[in-house]
Structure 1
Amino acid sequence: MMSDPVELVLADDVAHLTLNRPDAANTINLAVARRFRDHMRNLERQPPAAVVIAARGRAFCGGGDVREMSEAPDLPTYLDLLAETFHEGLLLLASLDALIFAAIGGAAAGGGLGLALNADVRIASPRARFLTAYEAVGLTPDSGVSFLLPRVVGLGRAAEMSALSGVMDAATAARSGLVAEVVETDPAARAAELASSATGRSQAHMSATRRLLRGDTDGQYAAALDAERAALVAAAASTSAASLIRGFVHRQKEKQA
């Protein structure tokens, strides 16, 4: 039986959402995007008090599955569907009246960085690393990175991370406000501990508070996700993106050989 690429366990009014592709750095392919969206649809019907997003293995989420991208017969069409599906899930996550925690034990790259940014509170291990990653394969940000990253770390730092392919370590992320805590123990356990404090009281204010804090009072976040998707599809149509994606996959295969 195939394992669930995104596991959901409900316990004591906390939804524990776990990315479960450790051998592929928990990268986001269509199966992950669809499963994440479907879980969010289910949680929308009966929101928990809190959500904890974590991952199995050493990486939190390596972003989009570049290998699956390289195998797509039509890259722009594939990325359009991938972004549409995952973005729907992110919008549902953002609309939940629940506290959202992300437990980051390793690399959060590209769409994985976006997923982490969609949390209200991020807890990291010292091994955590944060990077935009899109530039390595000639693509543009998605998963809310272009909207949320400048709001969290400032426009200058966000632009620097993208322009210079910068990698932010856990300590720097904490100083920048990207991470609330860096813990030597399991960040998922610490996130679950904090999430438990949300149980037993109403969180009916959370989606409205999240929109206010993000400056999203008139649907700017949804518009930003649509703009990201359009830019991503346009970038994917370039010959340079296809070449960079093939080169990335080739280098990964050589490392594994």
Structure 2
Amino acid sequence: MTEYQTITFEQAGVVARITLNRPDAANGMNGTMTRELADAAARCDTAATKVVVITGAGRFFCAGGDLKDFASAPSRGRHVKGVADDLHRAISTFARMDAVVITAVNGTAAGAGFSLAVSGDLVLAAESASFTMAYTRVGLSPDGSASYHLPRLIGIAKTKQLMLTNRTLSAQEALQWGLVGEVVADDRLQARADELAEQMAETSAGSNGGVKALLSDTFANGLEQQMELEGRLIAARAESADGREGVDAFLAKRRPKFGAQSAG
């Protein structure tokens, strides 16, 4: 799939940009969008991509699942399961790839949009952005990795508060809660995302992937198991081309040149 109906995909060097592009429907997720998002994620899961920026077109980041789409399906449950499965495939791919995923939350992030927003490795939010779970308001339950990421980010008590009361957090509140890494002025969001993407593009993809892999396993492992993973991974990194270049550059007091910086 090279042409998308509900998202835009742009590759510039090692940076991929994905924009949720249904502004007239608040960038709501329907079956087409989640399939396309999963396909775009797979396209990014190569050595040619070191950074992925995800944002929304228009005033919304993503208002969650497209309820009109859900209601029109002959079998709502089967349709919603398919939509969720494709979204989960995309999020899993983003989580497991070496590329750093930057979510630039330009407006309201509700439901699955909230889930996608906070699944980023680095989360930026515009000052006007807001965050709400919204699932139980329509008799549904969370998806999109919310029940995995939120307890790890903010704990069970605050997660229950968000999921059960559908409290809306401002960007600043989301920053204070630990859901967002940085809040910037609305008119600075794209520029800041670009700056961060350029910074990450100069880093080592293998090292970044190692960080992501270690942190994804840390809550499931005991101390010794996690340290063994750390030891094995740092040894592998020391033998890698990027690891050798990084150490050699440090000792020579020069800037390292990590691989695939100009690949596209």
TM-score interval (norm. to shorter): 0.7 to 0.9
Cα contact 2:4–2:36 (8 A) shared by 1? no
Larger gyration radius, structure 1 or structure 2: 2
**2:59 & 2:24 partners in 1: Cα distance?**
9
Q: Deviations over 1:208-236 (max 9, x none)?
A: 322332446869xxxxxxxxxxxxxxxxx
The question of whether the paired residues in 2 share the 8 Å contact of 1:72 and 1:78 is answered with yes
Paired residue secondary structure (2:212)? helix
SS of equivalent residue, structure 2 residue 203: coil
Give the AA of the match of 2:190. Answer: A
How has the CA–CA distance of structure 1 residues 217 and 47 changed in structure 2, closer, same or farther, with 3 Å as cutoff? farther
Amino acid at match of 2:50: A
User: How many Å apart are 1:200 and its aligned residue?
Assistant: 3.1
Q: Is the 8 A contact 2:16 2:49 kept in 1?
A: yes
Mapped partners of 2:73, 2:192: distance in 1: 39
What corresponds to 2:240 in structure 1? none
Q: How far has the Cα of 1:189 moved from its partner?
A: 2.0
**1:81-125 deviation line (CA, Å, top 9, x unaligned):** 111111111111111101111111111111111111210111111
Aligned position for 1:204: 206
Q: In 2, Cα distance between the equivalents of 1:58 and 1:192?
A: 19
8 Å contact from structure 1 (residues 102, 123) kept in 2? yes
* CA distance in structure 2 between the aligned counterparts of 1:207 and 1:64, rounded to whole angstroms: 29
Task: Please list the CA deviations of residues 128-166 of structure 1 after superposition, one character each: whole Å capped at 9, or x if unmatched.
Answer: 111111111111111100000111122211110111111
Q: What residue in structure 1 maps to residue 58 of structure 2?
A: 57
| Residue equivalent to 1:68 | 69
Letter in 2 for 1:53: I
Q: Which moved more, 1:27-36 or 1:185-194?
A: 185-194
Superposed counterparts of 1:1-257, under 5 Å: 4-184=5-185, 185-215=187-217
Q: Relative contact order: is structure 1 or structure 2 higher (C-alpha 8 Å, sep ≥ 6)?
A: 1
The answer for the alignment partner of 1:228 in structure 2 is: none
**Residues in 2 aligned to 1:216 and 1:5: alpha-carbon distance in whole angstroms:** 35
Counterparts of 1:159 and 1:215, CA distance in 2: 23
Q: In the alignment, which residue of structure 2 is the partner of 1:250? A: none
The 3-state SS of whatever aligns with 2:97 is: coil
Structure 1 unaligned spans of 5+: 220-257
Query: What one-letter code is carried by the residue in structure 1 that aligns with 2:16?
Result: A
For structure 2, list consecutive stretches of 5 or more residues without a partner in the other structure: 222-264
Q: 1:182 to 1:201 in 2, by over 3 A?
A: closer
- Which 4+ residue blocks in structure 1 deviate beyond 4 angstroms? 216-219
Report the AA paired with residue 140 of structure 2: L
CA distance change for structure 1 residues 217 and 209 in 2, over 3 Å: closer, same or farther?
farther
Distance in 2 of aligned mates of 1:101 and 1:206: 13
Give the letter aligned to residue 91 of structure 2.
L
The SS at the match of 1:187 is helix
**Given the two structures, how large is their TM-score scaled by the length of structure 2?**
0.78
Structure 2 SS opposite 1:64? coil
Question: What TM-score do the two structures reach when normalised by structure 1?
Answer: 0.80
What is the rounded CA distance, in whole Å, between the counterparts of 1:7 and 1:152 in structure 2?
29
TM-aligned CA distance change 1:165 to 1:200, over 3 Å:
closer
Structure 2 counterpart of 1:180, which letter? G
State the alpha-carbon separation in 2 of the partners of residues 187 and 155 from structure 1.
Answer: 30
Q: Distance in 2 between matches of 1:139 and 1:201?
A: 41
What amino acid sits opposite 1:187 in the alignment?
A: L
What amino acid is aligned across from residue 213 of structure 1 in structure 2? Answer: L
Q: Is the 8 A contact 2:87 2:144 kept in 1?
A: yes
Q: Are 1:59 and 1:106, in contact at CA under 8 Å, matched by a contact in 2? A: yes
Percent of aligned pairs with the same amino acid? 33
- What is the RMSD computed on CA atoms of the aligned residues? 1.8
Q: Distance in 1 between matches of 2:48 and 2:4?
A: 25
